[in-house]
Structure 1
Amino acid sequence: MDALITAAARALAAGDPLGALNRVALRDDAPALALRGIAMAQLGDLARARLLVRRAARAFGQKEAVARARCVVAEAEIALVSRDLGWPAKALGAAQATLAAHGDLANAAHARQLEIRHLLLIGRLDAAEAALATLDPTPFPPASRAAHELIVAGIALRRLRTQAAREALARASRAAHQAAIPGLLAEVEQAVRLLDAPAARQIAPDGDRPLRLAEVEALLASNALVIDGCRHVVQAGGTAISLARRPVLLTLARALGEAWPADVPRDTLIARAFRTRHIDGSHRARLRVEIGRLRAMLGALARVEATPDGFALVPLVPPVSLVSLVSPPAQPVVVLARPVEEKHGAVLALLGDGESWSSSALALALGASQRTAQRALDALAADGKVQAFGRGRARRWLSTPVPGFTTTLLLPTPLPNH
């Protein structure tokens, strides 16, 4: 490896892509192509970066197995940043195995980190946590240690373990300062700010109140009956009941929770749950059926009692072993909602990370069909809330994040029952 290639590689490792390009911009040999691709990725030209990395992989040839594997890992990282979540995972796994077999443990660990970040983006927290447990960050260089701790923090945030997330971010900050890479420092600082940003709203008769993630965690750990419109669950005393696939029941539960301790008239419940203005006997019959289903779902946590005008929610006292003896909640029933409610809020939450997403990647992350994701994007675009660039398979979608609010932390995924 010649001196210019070595100097360009050191510049990239230090977060100086322009310095790297100054040394190899006019060269077309395989190492220079790879370094140019990584530099263009750091500068944000991801399409050009991918082309350069692919050219480098072809130029290295079959005998340069380690170099080709490194190019595959670089392309996988570009795909991840581009939110091309359909990128073939088998190629990354094969590259990781090649790097490990040839003793390049640092890049093999980086490939493993990319796999875990992919799992985290598509909401497979259990798989991400299990894979992360196989990595020991102790021998990693500072930049890799910072990336590792960011993954730890990301999992902790989605598990609503704010103290663990804060500790991981503190370690990430120390490692990022050792690496002295401006982009990495900015990423850590942004993650730290999310911990203190409003993550949900508590809806109450006297007005809504924003809650930080730590306050949401404390509320869910109490013995209050929490109707969580962020994650679509009803929870109390450590028991969580998912209503993610029962939107009518969730709407009814939320309406009853917002009115607690008062009741809700039947016509009001029908209008909210069935979205109709013209109420007839069939709607009242359907309401009785849905209320019966809600009673069955919430049997361990609350009763739904009929009143002369409608229905009322009555929380049950949790077992003594589950009751907080230190600070019982001031309000037995609490309703949580997203900081900004929107019909296609889950799509906006994903786009709110500032990266560009394809419709197929959004469908993977949401667990929905690509057509469903596309319809949501079209509706948001018509309202001027998202914008697209590119054509065909290169088409990507962007949205400006809502200032001061978390985005992907409270997507509608079921809470763990612990």
Structure 2
Amino acid sequence: MDSLITAAARALAAGDPLGALNRVALRDDAPALALRGIAMAQLGDFVRAKALLRAAARAFGPKEVVAGARCIVAEAEIALVSRELGWPVRTLEAARATLQAHGDHANAAHAHYLQVRRLLLTGHLDEAEHRLAGLDLTTPLPPALRAAHELVAAGIAIRRLRTTAARAALGRAAEAARQAGIPALMAEVETTSRVLDTPAARLIARGSERLLRLDEVEALLASGMLVVDACRLVVRKADSMVALARRPVLFALARMLGEAWPDDVPRDALIARAFRTKFSDASHRARLRVEIGRLRAALGPLADITASGRGFALTPRGANEVAVLALPVEDAYAMVLACLADGESWSSSALALALGASQRTMQRALDALAAAGKVQPVGHGRARRWMTPPIPGFATTLLLPAPLPGG
């Protein structure tokens, strides 16, 4: 490898894409093409970056398997950053295995982190945690990769509401990022750290509301209080949980009863909110009795529902308090906004994959959000992406596709 290629590679490793381009911008040999592709990716021109990396892989040819594998890893990272979550995972795994077999442990670890980050984005926390734990850390990693490792660990801990572990991981990530000296990496650590100190949910109890940080949410869920969790559509007490995500009428009733506790809720109010009607008659009251019976059976040992003269009231079992945990910002498309709030541009197909919905459903949601001025499209046709600024002053962790403890 000649001196210009070495200098360009060092510039890229230090987060200086312009310095790298100054050295290889006019060269068309395979190593220069690869470095130019990585530099363009760091500058945000992903289309040009992918073209250069594919040209580099062709120029390296079948004999340069390690160099070709590195190009594949770089292209996979571009796909992840540009939220092309449908990018072939098996191709990345094959490249990782090639790098590992040829002793390039640093780039093999980088490929491994890309796999884990994709799992994290799509809400597969168990698999992401398993893969992260399976990474061999006996070989010392460069500071940038140590920061990446801790960021992934922090991301998993945040979504599982393990705030102490998340703070510890972010502290280690910040130190590794300072050692790497890469401004973009330090900024990513700082942005992630702010999630722990911004409101993540609203607590509704005894007729009052207040905002909670993630550590306060964690303490609430571990307190033994009966919590009607509108972030995950469950009713829970400590480690016991009843999922109602697929029974929206039952959850609507549970939330109203939880918000009113210790008072009861009139039958007409329950009918209006749960059945979405302004008028009620005998058939609605009969249906309400049926749904209340179903909710009473679903809650089982967690709570009972008692009838009063004007309606129904929630009676917790083994808990002295009842609270509702609600989203900081209520919106019909809150989960879509939560994904878009990371500041990256998403395609409708990537959002559908991350949220487990059909692409057509996601397109309708994006069209509605665009009409309301909450998101904006960039590009046309298959290249169209969607973006929105973060919700100011709020963390969006509890809106993302990941279960809370016990989920």
Superposition TM-score, scaled by structure 1 size = 0.95
User: Segments of 4+ in structure 1 off by > 3 A?
Assistant: 204-207
Secondary structure of the structure 2 residue equivalent to 1:208:
strand
Q: 1:363 aligns with which of 352, 370, 382?
A: 352
Amino acid at match of 2:60: F
Amino acid at match of 1:373: M
Contact 1:225–1:333, Cα closer than 8 Å, also in 2? yes
Aligned to 2:60: 60
Contact 2:231–2:327, Cα closer than 8 Å, also in 1? yes
Q: Quick check: 1:145 aligned with 2:134?
A: no
**Seq. identity, %:** 72
Superposition TM-score, scaled by structure 2 size = 0.97
Secondary structure of the structure 2 residue equivalent to 1:226:
strand
1:147 Cα offset (Å): 0.2
Q: Deviations over 1:269-290 (max 9, x none)?
A: 1111111113233322222221
Aligned to 1:328: none
Q: Deviations over 1:281-328 (max 9, x none)?
A: 33222222211111111111000111111110001115xxxxxxxxxx
Aligned to 1:326: none
Long gaps (5+) in structure 1 = 319-330
Aligned to 1:71: 71
Aligned to 1:388: 377
Quick one: structure 1 residues 407 and 390, their matched pair in 2 at CA, closer, same or farther if it must change by over 3 Å?
same
Q: How many Å separate the matches in 2 of 1:12 and 1:214?
A: 37
Number of aligned residue pairs: 406
1:413 Cα offset (Å): 4.2
Contact 2:66–2:98, Cα closer than 8 Å, also in 1? yes
Q: Deviations over 1:187-223 (max 9, x none)?
A: 0011111111101011235432010000000000011
Amino acid at match of 1:48: R
Aligned to 1:114: 114
Larger deviation, residues 158-167 vs 58-67: 58-67
Aligned to 2:188: 187
1:33 Cα offset (Å): 1.1
Q: How does 1:13-412 map to 2 (within 5 A)?
A: 13-137=13-137, 139-317=140-318, 332-411=321-400
Contact 1:221–1:237, Cα closer than 8 Å, also in 2? yes
Q: How many Å separate the matches in 2 of 1:411 and 1:34?
A: 34
1:412 Cα offset (Å): 5.7
1:346 Cα offset (Å): 0.4
Contact 1:157–1:409, Cα closer than 8 Å, also in 2? no
Q: How many Å separate the matches in 1 of 2:183 and 2:236?
A: 41
Amino acid at match of 1:55: A
Quick one: structure 1 residues 412 and 388, their matched pair in 2 at CA, closer, same or farther if it must change by over 3 Å?
same
Quick one: structure 1 residues 292 and 414, their matched pair in 2 at CA, closer, same or farther if it must change by over 3 Å?
farther
Q: Deviations over 1:120-140 (max 9, x none)?
A: 000000000000011134511
Q: How many Å separate the matches in 2 of 1:412 and 1:30?
A: 40
Larger deviation, residues 210-219 vs 267-276: 267-276
Long gaps (5+) in structure 2 = none
Q: How many Å separate the matches in 2 of 1:215 and 1:410?
A: 16
1:24 Cα offset (Å): 0.9
Quick one: structure 1 residues 242 and 158, their matched pair in 2 at CA, closer, same or farther if it must change by over 3 Å?
same
